[in-house]
């Protein structure tokens, strides 16, 4: 079939399509698969009980129930009005941001939101001065690579990213060595050679970072905000794992917002990935743009996730679930996974990125004699799925594992959401395959 340039761009294999295909194949597989690669949150019984209770209550009233209303009526393109009003009250109650409903839009998941935002603030821009029109190419600045795999390939007219490689420092975790941490290299950021030829339309970071679990410090965030303000561009923060929900974040940091900032939240990581509900908190200009794009792309965002989640935010149940159940659940998962990894790989050069949040561990196999793309294939042959690191570098040429940025071919992202069997068997197989690679290439 002969597709357009747009069609060819959006139908070719990508890192995120590989992840979702692996997830689907694993769910259909007749044999057990150690699924350590997807981004699906864990099924937490106490959280699902809360969802079920609300779900059942939505059906009360039969044909005139809130459930039937949510199914049989569109929202407006900005999103379900009732949930937006609840979110305004929720954020103002907890942070005193003085939001109005003009500051919030809903989308069909965070991925949908980033498709909009990256195409709003990067690509080709036209400016008219008198009778003369000029065009400019703008890019999204990623101040700390590696970054989320889903950012790449969603810009309509080509990948337009400028990425900054991190400072890598050795750190301890709970008094143990064998850990490292990425930090923003601000000297490199301020002196990027790409900035001589490419303008920046927005800065974007995830906090906690997917894939590494890194949490940018308050000082790092303040410096990024100052750069954004100086250049009058937005600072986009992907807060899918952060506070106040699902609050899978361990350092004590502050969540701030002003009209220079675009905050993106998701209901997926509290345990509702199938309902595809993203939340954008931004200036009215940005919200109006998202509203208009929703109308063209989706007519309107899905309502059922908003209607189901609404009671959780009205009485702050979402905060209690996040603080008392979701966060401790993943903290325990992290501790168990680290113990298993130390046992399986303790005598290799493995380093673990300090786990500061999210639902993954980022493993660095220094001087691994094969790429982690090849490691992925070997693990997949053993019914164990991870994600190789080269997919997490939007804006970085990772095609050359020898002459390029070698670190981009030495890491894997490992999910910690699996059950006990998956964790034990999967990590044991990772240990066997990695040791074999170090021994024999």
Q: Is residue 62 part of a domain?
A: no
195 and 175 assigned to the same domain:
yes
Q: pLDDT band at residue 170, thresholds of 50, 70 and 90?
A: very high
99 and 235 assigned to the same domain:
yes
Does 338 or 30 have the greater pLDDT score? 338
Last residue of a domain, one of 261, 280, 315: 315
Q: Is residue 61 part of a domain?
A: no
Could you tell me the CATH number of the domain that includes residue 369? Answer: 3.40.640.10
- Mean pLDDT throughout 355-364? 97
**Whether residue 108 has pLDDT greater than 90:** yes
152 and 281 assigned to the same domain:
yes
* Domains in the chain, number: 2
Span 381-421, pLDDT tens digits = 999 999 999 989 998 887 766 556 889 999 999 999 999 99
125 and 196 assigned to the same domain:
yes
- Estimate to the nearest angstrom the gap between the alpha carbon of 122 and the chain centroid: 19
104 and 252 assigned to the same domain:
yes
Query: What are the percentages of helix, strand and coil residues in the chain, rounded to 5?
Result: 45, 20, 35
Q: pLDDT band at residue 127, thresholds of 50, 70 and 90?
A: confident
Last residue of a domain, one of 255, 284, 315: 315
Q: Is residue 158 part of a domain?
A: yes
The pLDDT assigned to 30 comes to 62
Q: Is residue 105 part of a domain?
A: yes
Domain coverage including residue 389:
5-46+321-440
269 and 215 assigned to the same domain:
yes
122 and 169 assigned to the same domain:
yes
117 and 261 assigned to the same domain:
yes
Q: Is residue 64 part of a domain?
A: no
Distance between CA atoms of 314 and 154, rounded to whole angstroms?
Answer: 34
Q: Is residue 17 part of a domain?
A: yes
Radius of gyration (C-alpha) of the chain in whole angstroms: 22
Torsion of CA 297, 300, 301, 302, to 10 degrees: -120
The pLDDT assigned to 27 comes to 58
Last residue of a domain, one of 281, 298, 315: 315
- Estimate to the nearest angstrom the gap between the alpha carbon of 102 and the chain centroid: 25
30 and 114 assigned to the same domain:
no
Q: Is residue 53 part of a domain?
A: no
Span 188-226, pLDDT tens digits = 998 877 766 679 999 999 999 999 999 999 999 999 999
Sheet holding 411-415, edge to edge: 167-173, 176-183, 350-353, 360-365, 411-415, 387-388
246 and 360 assigned to the same domain:
no
Q: pLDDT band at residue 19, thresholds of 50, 70 and 90?
A: low
Structure-block tokens of residue 104 = 């919030």
99 and 213 assigned to the same domain:
yes
Q: Where are the alpha helices (DSSP H) in 261-303?
A: 284-297
Span 218-259, pLDDT tens digits = 999 999 999 999 999 999 999 999 999 999 999 999 999 999
304 and 336 assigned to the same domain:
no
């Amino acid at each position: 079939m002969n597709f357009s340039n747009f069609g060819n761009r959006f139908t070719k294999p990508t890192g995120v399509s590989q992840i979702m295909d692996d997830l689907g194949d694993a769910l259909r597989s007749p044999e057990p698969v150690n699924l350590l690669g997807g981004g699906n949150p864990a099924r937490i019984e106490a959280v699902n009980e809360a969802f079920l209770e609300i779900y059942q209550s939505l059906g009360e009233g039969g044909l005139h129930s809130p459930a039937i209303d949510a199914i049989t009526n569109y929202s407006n393109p900005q999103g379900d009005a009732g949930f937006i009003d609840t979110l305004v009250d929720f954020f103002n109650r907890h942070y005193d941001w003085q939001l109005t409903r003009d500051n919030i839009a809903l989308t069909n998941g965070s991925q949908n939101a980033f498709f909009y935002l990256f195409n709003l603030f990067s690509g080709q821009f036209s400016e008219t001065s008198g009778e003369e029109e000029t065009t400019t190419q703008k890019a999204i600045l990623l101040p700390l690579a590696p970054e989320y795999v889903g950012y790449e390939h969603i810009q309509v007219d080509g990948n337009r990213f400028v990425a900054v490689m991190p400072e890598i420092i050795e750190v301890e975790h709970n008094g143990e060595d064998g850990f490292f941490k990425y930090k923003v290299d601000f000297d490199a950021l301020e002196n990027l050679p790409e900035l001589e030829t490419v303008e920046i339309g927005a800065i974007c970071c995830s906090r906690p970072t997917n894939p590494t679990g890194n949490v940018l410090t308050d000082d790092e965030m303040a410096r990024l905000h100052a750069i954004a303000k100086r250049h009058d561009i937005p600072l986009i923060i992907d807060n899918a794992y952060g506070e106040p929900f699902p609050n899978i974040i361990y350092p004590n940091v502050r969540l701030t917002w002003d009209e220079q900032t675009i905050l993106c939240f998701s209901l997926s990581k509290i345990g509702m990935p199938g309902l595809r509900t993203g939340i954008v908190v931004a200036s009215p200009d940005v919200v109006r743009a998202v509203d208009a794009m929703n109308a063209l792309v989706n007519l309107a965002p899905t309502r059922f996730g908003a209607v189901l989640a609404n009671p959780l935010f009205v009485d702050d149940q979402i905060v209690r679930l996040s603080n008392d159940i979701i966060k401790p659940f993943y903290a325990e998962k992290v501790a168990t996974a680290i113990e298993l990894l130390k046992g399986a790989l303790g005598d290799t050069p493995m380093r673990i990125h300090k786990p500061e949040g999210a639902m993954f561990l980022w493993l660095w196999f220094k001087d691994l004699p094969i790429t982690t793309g090849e490691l992925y294939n070997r693990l997949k042959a053993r019914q164990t799925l991870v994600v190789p690191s080269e997919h997490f570098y939007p804006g970085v040429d990772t095609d050359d594992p020898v002459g390029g940025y070698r670190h981009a071919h030495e890491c894997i992202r490992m999910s910690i959401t699996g059950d006990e069997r998956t964790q034990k068997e999967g990590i044991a197989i990772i240990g066997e395959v990695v040791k074999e690679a170090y021994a024999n290439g």
